[in-house]
Amino acid sequence: MSVQKKKRKIVVVADEECISGLVAEALRGRGYDVETTRGDFVLLGYLCFHGIDVLISDLNIKQSLNIKPLNGIKLLELFKRYSPDNPFILFAGDSDTKAAAEAMEKGAFTFLENDETMIENILAAVEKGRERFAVIEEERRLAIEEADRIILERAKAEMAKKTSHY
């Protein structure tokens, strides 16, 4: 199945602007619409009021507003509440196997180590995640079409029954 390339909104969350900037630049180079944030309430507004197709986050986020700690795992849980099928890519500066296992259990698409291959790995994960999401969207569209067809057939049968009594 060929996936039609459509501009996707991607948000990159990292407290280090050099990391989010590099990731965003690489993604924009591939034609994606990318926003970056440090993980404050601006991001929460995006989650609630704008569609995010892919969320890429650092595991350890130092919030710019010190109200409630927000880390990559908590962000994953929040994102999955609003967008259960959309890819969430989590990365960390070290290989934290416990966090990786927890992230995968809670629905992360992948967990990457922040090393010299991270940008390439993120680009590959975004593409794979986008393809998987397109398949899910297509399956959902086909299921809705099938449900609509069944409802229409039942309505026609019901109308035929009613008009045959006259």
pLDDT tens digits for range 83-93: 888 899 999 87
Which element (helix H / strand E) includes 75? helix 72-82
How do residues 136-157 score in pLDDT, each as one tens digit? 888 888 999 999 999 999 988 8
Q: pLDDT of 90-139, one tens digit each?
A: 998 777 788 889 999 999 999 998 888 889 999 999 989 888 877 888 88
* Rounded CA Rg of the chain: 21
Residue 26 sits in a domain whose CATH number is 3.40.50.2300
Residue 148 lies in a domain: no
Asked whether residue 161 is assigned to any structural domain, the reply reads no
pLDDT tens-digit map of 36-80:
887 665 666 666 556 788 899 988 876 655 546 568 888 888 888
Residue 27 covered by a domain? yes
In this prediction, residue 3 has a pLDDT band, given cuts at 50, 70 and 90, of: very low
- Residue 15 domain flag: yes
Q: Is residue 163 part of a domain?
A: no
Amino acid at 151: I
How far apart (Å, rounded) are the C-alpha atoms in residues 15 and 132? 28
Residue 20 lies in a domain: yes
**Number of domains the chain is built from:** 1
Q: Considering the domain boundaries, does residue 38 fall inside one?
A: yes
Look up the domain containing 86 and give its range.
Answer: 9-132
| pTM over the 0.85 mark | no
- Residue 108 belongs to some domain of the structure: yes
